[in-house]
A = this chain, B = another copy of it.
Amino acid sequence: MEKKYCHNELVSFADRDHEALMGVWWTGILLKKRAKHFFSNFLSSEVQFNIMMVLKYAEKPLTQSELGEQLLVDKSNITGLLDRMEKSGLIRRLSVPDDRRCYHIELTGTGREILEKVEQPYRDYVKKLMAEFSAKEIDDINRYMARLEKAVAAEESTAFKYRS
């Protein structure tokens, strides 16, 4: 039986490999959309939630660059994100005495309060979703994703960009 692109009936051109890759892709997109909506009463996006979680649980103060690395967010993107979050009172930029180039980012009281409201419901949501899977299956998913990420990174280093 031929497999489908994007889980739909109108289009078919994918093989099993491709379908698996697309599956991860689409599921990722779906999770992103769902999360954005989940937080939308409190935050303008799931990315802001991620930033706040990283700030809350970081073992040391983080600079913008470090924050970006944690979240795969480009430095040119971090600037605007933090601008908006600063404007809505969620975070603060603190100058770093040793290095006048960078800032340490910290949650404000308001930021902490809002995180307090959404963190547990979020954790409950994740639990509920993943209740679908057994412990072994959870481990499988963890391992498969780690391997896929590694494969992407490996391929990227050998074939930087497709050229005609």
Contacts and interface: CB of A to CB of B under 8 A. Distances in A.
Interface in A19-78: 19-21, 23-34, 37-42, 53-54, 56-60, 62, 66, 69-72
A interface secondary structure, majority? helix
B12 A145 contact: no
B16 A135 contact: yes
A139 B16 CA distance: 8
Interface string A120-144: 0111011111101101011111101
A87 interface: no
Contacts of A99: none
A17 B163 contact: no
A25 B23 contact: no
Interface in A76-125: 117-118, 121-123, 125
